[in-house]
Structure 1
Amino acid sequence: MQNLIQDSTVEWTDLGAGIKRKIMAYNDSMMLVKVAFESGAVGVLHQHPHTQASYVSKGVFDISIDGVTTRLHAGDVYFVPSELIHGAVCIESGELVDVFSPMREDFV
């Protein structure tokens, strides 16, 4: 993995249903991923062993964590401890910047 990554050099992966992802950087202990959502796209409820911190870089999202849903806007952050059920509904097209620890082996 490079130490300096230019956004324009990283390809988007289309996940379908109005969601695409860019894996920007990672090592064994951490991963940074950009996820773009079209308005109305749903990041289905799920859980994983990784700790996750996410920054809303653009748009508006309804974020659900452990049964509680809150509307977040650009500049807001959410934190998901390991194994908590969470998901996102995109209200206004936007982008999340997700950080996982350890890295998501299932993404690469």
Structure 2
Amino acid sequence: MTMENLFGIDQHIAWFDLGNGVQRKVMSHNDQLMVVKVRFAKGAIGELHTHPHIQISYVSSGKFKFSIAGDEHILREGDTCIVPANAVHGCSCLEAGELIDSFTPSRTDFLDPR
């Protein structure tokens, strides 16, 4: 890893539009860990899905209704949740905001946004 790969400089990283009011920005990653920003417009949905990665989400702004393995909670700025590997999960955005998601291992599917 070169020194320039150790830092994710926000202003140098473009948002990727996922459609329907959701945008993603991969900030920093290596094979074991990834940090991603996900921006949601009010009413946008993170559809129910699963993946083999462990995920922690931090609500940096906004208000979200999260569902993890059938358990639902409203999360606000400063709140977190952990998504176990292969758990069915998703969220709906109640107030426009942004999540900071960490994944282990890294989500290689996020690296080629085509």
- TM band (smaller chain): over 0.9
Per-residue CA deviation, residues 71-100 of structure 1 (Å, 9 max, x unaligned), is: 000000000010000001000000000000
Map 1:26-105 onto structure 2 (within 5 A): 26-105=29-108
Are residues 1:17 and 2:35 paired? no
Following superposition, the deviation at residue 4 of structure 1 comes to 2.1
- Name the SS for the 1:2 alignment partner: helix
- Name the SS for the 2:11 alignment partner: helix
CA contact (8 A) 2:7 2:28 kept: no
Q: Specify the code of the residue in structure 2 equivalent to 1:4.
A: F
Separation in 1 of the partners of 2:48 and 2:86? 12
- Name the SS for the 1:106 alignment partner: helix
Identity %: 48
Following superposition, the deviation at residue 105 of structure 1 comes to 1.0
What count of residue pairs does the alignment treat as equivalent? 108
Alignment gaps of 5+ in structure 1: none
Aligned twin of 1:3? 6
**TM-score, length basis structure 2:** 0.93
Following superposition, the deviation at residue 26 of structure 1 comes to 0.4
**TM-score, length basis structure 1:** 0.98
CA RMSD of aligned residues (A): 0.8
Following superposition, the deviation at residue 2 of structure 1 comes to 1.7
Following superposition, the deviation at residue 5 of structure 1 comes to 2.2
Q: Which aligned segments of 4 or more residues in structure 1 are displaced greater than 3 angstroms?
A: none
